[in-house]
Amino acid sequence: MRSRARHARSDDGGCDGRADRPASLADAAENSPDASALRSDGGVAGETAITDDYERTRLQRWRDSDFVQSVPFWLPPFLLMGFFVYAAIGWNFLISLTEYSGFGDIDYSTIGLHNYVELVADAGFWAATRNTLVLLVAFTLACLVLGLSLAILLDRKIRFERTFRTIYLLPFALSFIVTAQFWMWMYNFDFGIINGLFGLVGLGPYSWLGSPRLVLGSVIFALMWQFSGYTMVVYLAALRAIPGDQYEAARVDGANTLKLYWRVIIPQLKPATVSASVVLVLFALKAFDFLYAIWGFRPRRGADILATKMVREAFQRQEWAYGASIAIVLFILSLAIIAPYLYQQYTQGNL
Amino acid sequence: MARTTLEHITKVFTDDNANDIVAVDDVSIEIEDGEFLVLVGPSGCGKSTTLRMVAGLETITDGRIRLDDRVINDLPAQDRDIAMVFQSYALYPHMTVRGNMAFGLEESTDLPDEEIDALVTETAEMLGIEGMLDRTPDELSGGQQQRVALGRAIVRDPDVFLMDEPLSNLDAKLRSQMRMELQRLQEGLDTTTIYVTHDQTEAMTMGDRIAVLNDGKLQQVGTPLECYHRPANLFVAGFIGEPSMNMITGTIDGDAFVSDEFTYPISADLAAELEGVFDVTLGIRPEDLELSTEEPEDSRALSMIVDVVEPMGDENVVYLRFDSGDVGIDDDQLVLIATIDGISDIAGIDRVSVRIPEEALHVFSTETGNAIRNRRLEGDVERVV
């Protein structure tokens, strides 16, 4: 509702802008039935003149409409987006219905859902879907919890707060290729620092990136390390927006520190949680580059997600149509996650 | 309910440059059980800091705060059994009114849910907000939020209510209405209350006693009328009362007070009282100045020019100045303020005789600011109260 009201207001603003020009003022007068009736009563102009006048004003009215006036601003990006994003998605969907593979031209004569039928029967697809969902849920939750804890600790007016903030946020600024590379070294079975540390307490060595049971956890941990700085910054901004008297009121009301955060502060961080979650989830769905940087086309069993499987099917095995169908599934998953968020933002008037 | 005692409490803040700032300096006040004490003073005088030390939101640098016989200096805020109403209300925006009011009971007591709910409903009825229990604070008007903030404190039935300028966000009409309601509630509940305000009207009208603070130091503790009629020093005299008391600096010369503008003869009694002091400041309340259009008949009357008249309806506030030739605004020029009956028509009159009755005079030492002599009243102030 609120957003609609705002739209209406901005429309008014547009009208005000145009009202400066005498032409549209005249339009306004002529558009009203009373005005034209007055004119014919007065007999100032003949019948045909009135029709001509009316034609002209309709053209002018069309030219002066908000729609036409705003075309130069939205049409170029609309066409660019339409062609390179939405047309590409449409074309991708079309390819997913064919049997296109290897080199050669696409044969659009045999259109059908056979690729999707094949997907349902493919155990590798289900494993990749399961891994994608596990990665998505575990990674998002871990980042939120860790980011929130760091933000709460940093918000307690500690010394060197800015320095800590920069240190925690820094990994987020690094390329995934870089972080993947050095996590690969840290996870190294023989020389890695992780196994070195576990060795100190008499555990391991573990094959962090080799064992199907550990590999997904290792990846999630590395990604969490990189992304929790981001959630921390989002939460820190939200915490700063909560007035200090909320804490004081809760204290005077008898709440201990745990209850204070759990019942008064954290519930007020809900908008920050939602927006951080959307970013994290969308990233988790596409955590391709990180995995590709570690293993190339063939991740360990247990770490294959839809994105890596898609790229492998398409670019390694040249099963273009099959890869395209995985892409569509990934697209629908992303859409399913972002659509409720966008809708909620829309109803709250933030879009 | 409890007697609250502040014993020599001091608060020192240290700023970024390691300079000490004394916010509250050796303040001692004893607040009786069920008493309504108003802490009043200009902004930055340390009144809020004092309140926050009682609440446990600020540490106490020195001194002791006691509730009955237990010293609560080191008790964290959540264990003090006090309730506080904040200037901004500090309602929890994500909870309903019911949630806001129940929160304190849920956190500070072991009462079962039904009992808490009954208490909340009962308190809401007392405040006339029972119809809003399921709304969230952003759906309430400022006045309603204020009631919820009060309800949140009242439902706790604490030892002490602390109120930090709770009415300052309301418009003038609502403020005077809530002022009356708060007094009625406090009388009914009979809970010890410490109320902080910068508004001397609130201080005068609401408090059983007023504690006037300035620069972190306690200036005077007394009933509103004591503070009004027997101010302990220049600060209290100037702060309490609207419009402020007129202050005239000068010297005592034998049996006369001499200022730049006029000489005022003093009686033998007063001269005896002022024996040995030289630099004094005379204080006289605006309502005690006697204005007349006749020529000054004795030497205690001054001939002055009417500068500005502010009609307030019930009274006229008259700004008077001496005939010094130039009409321009001059800060050094002595201006006396008098209030006279609102009916009297003073328009068109530009010269009046102003009589300063000696029995209404306050005399302060200019050097220390302390009162040497307060005005005489028929009967003692205590009896007037």
Task: Give per-residue pLDDT as tens, B236-280.
Answer: 999 998 889 999 999 988 888 888 888 888 888 888 888 888 899
Residue A259: which of B91, B92, B107 has the nearest Cβ? B107
* Contacting residues of A for B166, CB less than 8 Å apart: none
A259 touches chain B (CB under 8 A): yes
**Closest CB to A245 among B80, B86, B156:** B86
Task: For residues B193 and B164, give the distance between their C-alpha atoms in angstroms, rounded to a whole number.
Answer: 11
Query: What number of other Cβ atoms are within 10 A of residue A349's Cβ?
Result: 13
Query: Residue B350: its pLDDT value, please?
Result: 81
Q: Is residue A70 part of a domain?
A: no
Chain B, nearest residue to A254 by Cα: B78
Element (H, E) at B107: helix B97-108
Say whether A246 and B90 touch across the interface (CB within 8 A).
Answer: yes
Q: Please indicate, yes or no, if residue A24 is contained in any of the structural domains.
A: yes
- A327 in the same domain as A212: yes
pLDDT at B325: 58
Amino acid in the structure at residue B138? D
Residues A162 and A57 in one domain: no
Least CB–CB distance from A254: residue in B86, B107, B162: B107
Indicate yes or no: CB of B94 within 8 angstroms of CB of A267.
Answer: yes
How many beta carbons lie within 10 A of that of residue B201, not counting itself? 12
- Strand ranges inside chain A, DSSP E: none
Omega within 30 of 0 (cis) for the link into B357: no
Pick the closest to residue A54 from A43, A42, A40 (CA basis): A40
Q: Are strands B263-265 and B315-321 parallel, antiparallel or unpaired?
A: unpaired
CA distance B135 to B275: 68
Tell me which residue in A252, A255, A264 faces B83 most closely, judged by beta carbons. Answer: A252
Residue B362's DSSP bridge partners are: B283
Peptide bond into A72 cis (omega under 30): no
What are the helix (H) ranges across B195-308?
A: 200-206, 224-229, 234-239, 268-273
Residues A290, A209 share a domain? yes
Interior angle at CA A161, CA B75 and CA A149, nearest 5: 70
pLDDT number for residue B218: 93
Which tens digits make up the pLDDT trace of A3-12? Answer: 444 444 444 4
Token pair 């293993």 is found at A295
Burial class (CB in 10 A: 0-12, 13-18, 19+), A57: middle
**Do residues A143 and A269 both lie within one domain?**
yes
**DSSP annotation string for A60-105:** HHHHHSHHHHHHHHHHHHHHHHIIIIIIHHHHHHHHHTS---SSS-
Q: How far apart are CA A246 and CA A51, in angstroms?
A: 68
Question: Which residue of B lies nearest to A253 if distances are taken between CA atoms?
Answer: B104
Q: Which domain holds residue A105?
A: 76-115
CB contact under 8 A, B78 and A253: yes
Phi, psi of A174 (to 5 degrees): -80, 155
Instruction: Report pLDDT digits (tens) over A277-307.
Output: 988 988 887 788 888 888 877 777 778 888 8
Report residue A39: phi and psi, to 5°: -65, -45
Residue B369, token pair as written in the block: 């600011």
Going by C-alpha positions, the residue among B252, B259, B269, B248 that lies closest to residue B335 is B248
Helix (H, G, I), strand (E, B) or coil at B57: coil
Mutation target among A247, A251, A253, A257 for the B interface, most CBs of B within 10 A: A253
How far apart are the CA of B82 and the nearest CA of chain A, in angstroms?
7
Whether residues A87 and A183 share a domain: the answer is no
Closest partner CB to B57 (pick from A243, A251, A255): A251
> In this complex, how many residue pairs, one in chain A and one in chain B, have their CB atoms less than 8 Å apart?
66
**Could you tell me if A330 and A227 lie in one domain?**
yes
Determine contact: A249 vs chain B, CB below 8 A: yes
pLDDT digits (tens, 9 = 90+) for B115-129: 999 999 999 998 888
The closest CB to that of A253, out of B57, B94, B104, belongs to: B104
- Provide the pLDDT for residue A88: 92
CA triple B237-B165-B316, angle to 5 deg: 45
Cα(A310)–Cα(A324) distance, integer angstroms: 7
Q: What are phi and psi of B194, to 5 degrees?
A: -115, 125
- Please check whether residue A66 is in contact with residue A11, taking contact to mean a CB–CB distance below 8 angstroms: yes
Domain co-membership, A209 together with A252: yes
| 3-state secondary structure (DSSP) of residue B376 | coil
User: What are chain B's domains?
Assistant: 4-238 (3.40.50.300), 239-384 (2.40.50.140)
Cβ A264–B86 below 8 Å, yes or no? no
Task: Give the C-alpha separation, A309 to A315, whole Å.
Answer: 10
Q: How confident is the model at residue A158 (pLDDT cuts 50, 70, 90)?
A: confident
Question: What residue in A sits closest to B58 (Cα-Cα)?
Answer: A248
Confidence of residue B326 (pLDDT cuts 50, 70, 90): low
Q: How confident is the model at residue B324 (pLDDT cuts 50, 70, 90)?
A: low
Distance CA(A242)–CA(A265), nearest Å, equals: 8
Q: Is residue A71 part of a domain?
A: no
Task: Tell me: pLDDT of A207 over 70.
Answer: yes
Q: Which residue of A has its CA nearest to B95?
A: A264
- For helices A123-154 and A212-241, angle between their N-to-C axes, nearest 10 degrees: 40
Interface probe for A, chosen from B79, B80, B86 (most Cβ of A below 10 Å), is: B86
Q: Is there a domain that residue A160 lies in?
A: yes
Compute the nearest-CA separation of A334 from chain B (Å): 30
The chain B residues in contact with chain A (CB within 8 A) are 55-57, 76-80, 82-84, 86, 88, 90-94, 103-104, 107-109, 152, 156, 162
Q: Identify whether A19 is part of a domain.
A: yes
Residue type at position A29? A
Which of B77, B93, B94 lies at the smallest CB-CB distance from A252? B77
Same domain as A209, residue A84: no
* Residues A33 and A99 reside in one and the same domain: no
Give the least confident one: A48-62, B4-18, B365-379.
A48-62
For residue A41, with 0-12 CB atoms within 10 Å meaning exposed, 13-18 middle and 19 or more buried, which class applies? exposed
Contact between B56 and A254 using a beta-carbon 8 Å cutoff: no
The answer to whether A252 contacts B76, with C-beta atoms less than 8 Å apart, is: no
The minimum CA-CA distance between A250 and chain B, rounded to whole Å, is 8
With beta carbons under 8 A apart, name residues in chain B contacting A250: 92, 103, 107
| Beta carbons of B160 and B194 less than 8 angstroms apart | yes
Give the separation between CA A193 and CA A169, rounded to whole angstroms: 22
- Average pLDDT score over residue span A60-84: 89
Q: Are strands B209-214 and B36-40 parallel, antiparallel or unpaired?
A: parallel
Long-range contacts of B318-323 (CB under 8 A, 24+ apart): B318/B291, B318/B346, B320/B352, B320/B354, B322/B261, B322/B262
| Span A255-265, average pLDDT | 91
Query: Residue A30 to residues A19, A43, A220, B67, B271: CA-CA distances in angstroms?
Result: 14, 15, 67, 80, 91
pLDDT band at A27 (very low <50, low <70, confident <90, very high): very low
> Mind listing the pLDDT tens digit for each residue in B37-70?
999 999 889 999 999 999 999 999 999 999 888 8
DSSP code at position B233: B
Q: DSSP letter at B370?
A: B
Nearest C-alpha of chain B: how many angstroms from A338?
24
Number of residues written out for chain B:
385
Q: With contacts defined as CB-CB under 8 Å, which chain B residues touch A268? A: 92-94
Q: Which two tokens stand for residue A80?
A: 């660019």
Does position A37 have pLDDT exceeding 70, yes or no? no
**Å between A239 CA and nearest CA of chain B:** 14
What does the pLDDT look like over B62-79, one tens digit per residue? Answer: 999 998 888 988 888 888
User: Residue B79, Cα to own-chain centre: how many angstroms?
Assistant: 30
**B128-184 pLDDT, tens digit each:** 888 999 999 999 998 899 999 999 999 998 989 999 999 988 888 888 888 998 888
Cβ contact (<8 Å) for B76 and A251? Answer: yes
Dist. CA B147–CA B125, nearest whole Å: 11
The beta-carbon neighbor of B90 closest among A245, A259, A263 is A245
Q: Which residue has the tokens 């199907």?
A: A212
Domain count, chain A: 3
Q: How far is residue A230 from each of residues A162, A224, B256, B263, B383, measured CA to CA in Å?
A: 15, 10, 78, 76, 69
Quick one: which of B165, B258, B218, B224 has its CA closest to B385?
B224
**If residue B265 lies in a helix (H) or strand (E), which one and from where to where?**
strand B263-265
Please report how many Cα atoms fall inside a 13 Å half-sphere around the Cα of residue A231, on the Cβ side: 30
Which residues, in sequence order, are CB contacts of B140 under 8 Å at separation 6+? B97, B132, B148
Based on the fold, state whether residues A158 and A196 are members of the same structural domain. Answer: yes
Average pLDDT over residues A263-290: 87
Q: Is B42 helix (H, G, I), strand (E, B) or coil?
A: coil
CA distance A162 to chain B (A): 17
CA distance A160 to chain B (A): 14
CB contacts of B88 in chain A (<8 Å) are: 243, 245
- A255 and B90 within 8 Å at the Cβ level: the answer is no
Lowest mean pLDDT among A156-160, B44-48, B65-69, B360-364: A156-160
Find the distance separating the first CA and the last CA of chain B, reported in whole Å: 25
Residue B383 or A325, more confident: A325
**Is the pLDDT confidence value at A50 over 80?**
no
User: For position A199, which CATH number holds?
Assistant: 1.10.3720.10
Cα A284 to Cα A8: distance, rounded to the nearest angstrom: 38
Measured between alpha carbons, how far is residue B173 from residues A107, A289, B177, B179 in Å?
A: 81, 65, 6, 10
Chain-chain contact of A268 with B94 (C-beta, under 8 angstroms): yes
Residue A263 C-alpha, separation from nearest chain B C-alpha, in angstroms? 9
Contact B57 A248 (CB under 8 A): yes
Pair A216, A208: CB distance under 8 Å: no
Q: Report chain B's mean pLDDT, rounded to a whole number.
A: 87
- On whether both A185 and A271 belong to a single domain, the answer is yes
Give yes or no: residues A57 and A161 share one domain. no
CA distance B371 to B222: 15
